[in-house]
Amino acid sequence: MSPLDLVPVTTTDELSLSSIIGALSYALDLTEGLPAGHSLRCCWIGMHVGQQLGMDSEAQSHLYYTLLLKDAGCSSNAARLFELYGTDDRLVKRDFKLVDTDSLARLGRFVMSHTGVGKTLHERVNRILNLARNGEQFATELITTRCERGANIALQLGFDEQVANGIRCLDEHWNGRGKPARLDGHAIPMNARIALLSQVVEVFHSAEGCEQVLDEVRKRAGSWFDPEVVDAFLLASRQPGFWEGMRNEGLQLRIEQIEPASKVIRIDEDRLDTIAEAFAQVVDAKSNFTYGHSARVATYTSVVAKTLGLSEERSRWLRRGALLHDIGKLGVSNAVLDKPGRLEADEWERVKAHAAYSEQILGRMAIFSELAGIAAAHHERLDGKGYPRGLTADQISIETRIITVADIFDAITAERPYRGAIPVAESIAMMEKERGTAIDGDCLDALKRSLPELGF
Ligand SMILES: [Fe+2]
Ligand SMILES: [Fe+2]
């Protein structure tokens, strides 16, 4: 599975909320193991359904962001999913979306084929038995975590309850057999009903093509899907240009253009901070090993930047880069991120890829174009032995060096599931050994001077 099938970035120059959320939705696709552009295509599908249903512009605006952010909580259950299945979480997530869970036979086949892949027979059998006995409870737990988390992220981003509730109820089914609340019929918010159908349409379209989509949608009308939403979709699907609109070229721009014109939200510096903070939480939720990491690196970065004399404005700008420096980790399986022991060479390569993914994701946004390179270079070293590019000292900016010192400091001092926190004095001594090779001396001195302000 290729994490990023990158397509050319074409966006409007104006700083609208839709352009930023649209670009960041690629990070959510990565976490779900789905083809790049999944969330954007869901938005395309769902907005056509909303128009067929005669939604007014206010309702369409809520639908628009429900569709783009339906997977905002997706990283929060990745670690648990991996713990239960023992298989690459991104693969499990991707393939599960093709399963009609109303069919016990299909569900059973999925569990058999996706549990403990590559593990011993003994371990596979134990895991399968555990899932067979407790599957219902586990599924409710996984979906509750994901839905609640996603809804909270939407609220934190400043969206209304209509958006949050659409995300919260994404996995409820028309027949009442969905999760987590087993809502049925009209008790399920319309945005959630449309988002679920859009999701199924997109995954079947990407995996199997148009014909299979129409079969699957008709088959699930009245069970998973509201029949009225199905009818609206079938009408929309016959409109000229509907299927062509799903192609990758120019997708992001097309999605920006279908935002209800009267509801386009322009954003300012404060909203940009809020967005970076919210997506940092999405990143940090991916693994128990990195809980709170991005937020702490951001705090250390902004204090060190000010200690070094960077302006208030530049420090604030750099803090956003620190918040999002590891966003590419969303594209790395928890099978690697959560592995307690030593990583094999190929696993290490998969971890290292996160830095390049960060650059690609952030680089999709014109507003982050400079920051993308600066933040994504946080594993480069002054001696040229870092990654992803193996840059040398003269190619590594002071801003990157600040994030690097903050990142390393947190990596050493933070408590991990497998070890306690390393005391600050010992951490600084360890960092001193890397002075001039991995760590910039001035940045390290600034960090040391900043320790009291940071509460150490
Ligand atoms: Fe990193
Ligand atoms: Fe990091």
Question: How confident is the model over 417-449, as pLDDT tens digits?
Answer: 677 889 999 999 999 999 999 999 999 999 999
pTM score of the predicted model: 0.90
Given the structure tokens 């209509």, which residue do they identify?
Answer: 162
Output the pLDDT for position 53. 97
Output the pLDDT for position 68. 97
Q: How far is the CA of 438 from the centre of ligand 2 (A)?
A: 14
For 246, 307, 308, the CA distances from 454, given in Å and listed in that order, are 48, 12, 15
Output the pLDDT for position 81. 63
CATH 3.30.420.40 fits 1-267, yes or no: no
Output the pLDDT for position 178. 92
Looking at the predicted structure, is the pLDDT value of residue 125 above 80?
no
Six token digits for residue 38: 């999944």
Output the pLDDT for position 12. 43
Q: How far is the CA of 113 from the centre of ligand 2 (A)?
A: 34
- Contact criterion met (CB below 8 Å) for 118 and 145: no
Six token digits for residue 108: 């059973």
User: Whole-angstrom Cα distance, residue 246 to residue 121?
Assistant: 42
Q: How far is the CA of 81 from the centre of ligand 2 (A)?
A: 23
Query: How buried is residue 313: exposed, middle or buried, by Cβ count under 10 Å (0-12/13-18/19+)?
Result: exposed
User: Whole-angstrom Cα distance, residue 164 to residue 152?
Assistant: 7
Residue with more model confidence, 288 or 325: 325
Give percent of the chain with pLDDT exceeding 70. 96
Ligand nearest to the CA of 355: 1
Q: How far is the CA of 377 from the centre of ligand 2 (A)?
A: 11
Q: How far is the CA of 435 from the centre of ligand 2 (A)?
A: 19
Q: How far is the CA of 293 from the centre of ligand 2 (A)?
A: 7
Looking at the predicted structure, is the pLDDT value of residue 375 above 80?
yes
Given the structure tokens 């996603």, which residue do they identify?
Answer: 150
Looking at the predicted structure, is the pLDDT value of residue 299 above 90?
yes
Ligand nearest to the CA of 380: 1
Partnered with residue 29 across adjacent β-strands are none
Architecture of domain 269-450: Orthogonal Bundle (1.10)
Residue with more model confidence, 337 or 274: 274
Ligand nearest to the CA of 378: 1
Q: Mind telling me the catalytic residues?
A: 329
Backbone phi, psi, residue 378, to 5°: -65, -10
Question: Cβ of 442: how many Cβ atoms within 10 Å?
Answer: 15
Domain residue ranges of the chain, discontinuous segments joined by +: 1-267, 269-450
Q: How far is the CA of 354 from the centre of ligand 1 (A)?
A: 7
Q: How far is the CA of 445 from the centre of ligand 2 (A)?
A: 20
Ligand nearest to the CA of 411: 2
Verify cis geometry, omega within 30 degrees of 0, for the bond prior to 388.
yes
Looking at the predicted structure, is the pLDDT value of residue 141 above 60?
yes
Q: Please name which of 333, 317, 308, 329 lies closest in space to residue 405, comparing C-alpha atoms.
A: 308
Residue with more model confidence, 304 or 114: 304
The residue type of 107 is L
pLDDT tens-digit readout, 8-42:
444 444 588 999 999 999 999 988 888 999 999 99
Q: How far is the CA of 30 from the centre of ligand 2 (A)?
A: 18
**Do 269-450 and 1-267 fall under one CATH topology?**
yes
- Contact criterion met (CB below 8 Å) for 63 and 106: no
pLDDT tens-digit readout, 66-103:
999 999 998 777 677 677 777 787 877 787 777 777 77
Report the b/e string of 179-191 with b at 16+ CB within 10 A: bbbebeeeebbbb
Query: How buried is residue 118: exposed, middle or buried, by Cβ count under 10 Å (0-12/13-18/19+)?
Result: exposed
Output the pLDDT for position 14. 52
Q: Is 28 helix (H, G, I), strand (E, B) or coil?
A: helix
Q: Please name which of 267, 45, 31, 49 lies closest in space to residue 159, comparing C-alpha atoms.
A: 267
Calculate the CA dihedral of residues 408, 302, 76, 93 and round it to 10 degrees: -70
For 23, 24, 85, 116, the CA distances from 131, given in Å and listed in that order, are 36, 33, 8, 11
Rg (CA), the chain: 23
Ligand nearest to the CA of 403: 2
